[in-house]
A and B are shown apart, each in its own frame.
Chain A
């Protein structure tokens, strides 16, 4: 163990602005969650790590937009009835089944790392949601 190379033990890189902070740096943990799709990026004992992930904020707002549209269609056509609620519930149920993907990225004991992750699950899920919406209004002869 004593011979294990540790990224934070020593660093003579030109970007190093705060030498003292290096050894004291605690494990950093970052997690982003959107609905049931989890993305964990754990950065531990490392520095100068650049992380680029899927823009979950955009995905989330699109998701809310589609959900609102679905709710509007159901509300107009079926009203605020039990039947309407059940249809909405069943449709949501399906969307939920598409959201159990998770990915984990662990960066440990590293320096100057560039990470890019793509959450294809979010994209697929958004596509599925819009497909449901299109199919629903298609049935109602809107398209």
Chain B
């Protein structure tokens, strides 16, 4: 039921953001979605956190920041045209 609700919210967001250049979905909505998916599947966040070593965290952080920079650049390039 939660998921259905989120999808409804997103439909509206997509409609709005489609009118012009891509603005993306509000981070809060994505957070809600991810929280929902984890909860729905019975994931224990605290337990999951403990499985990540400090090195893991550092590596993941760098990887995601790098990917994010590349995506931002791509989006910028494509909205310039």
Quick check: B74 and A131 within 8 Å, CB to CB? no
**Shortest Cβ gap from A56 to chain B (Å):** 11
A87 close to B (CB within 8 Å) = yes
Quick check: A65 and B67 within 8 Å, CB to CB? yes
- Which secondary structure characterizes the binding site on chain A? helix
Chain B residue with Cβ nearest A125 = B22
Chain B residue with Cβ nearest A143 = B61
Cross-chain pair count, CB within 8 angstroms? 128
Contact of B41 among A87, A98, A143 (CB under 8 A): A87
**Shortest Cβ gap from B53 to chain A (Å):** 9
Q: Which B28-50 residues have C-beta < 8 A from chain A?
A: 30-31, 33-35, 37-38, 40-43, 45, 48-49
Contact of A132 among B30, B49, B77, B78 (CB under 8 A): B30
Interchain Cβ contacts under 8 Å between A and B, 16 examples: A65-B67, A66-B71, A69-B67, A72-B60, A76-B52, A83-B42, A94-B33, A97-B10, A116-B81, A122-B78, A123-B78, A131-B24, A131-B30, A134-B64, A140-B57, A142-B64
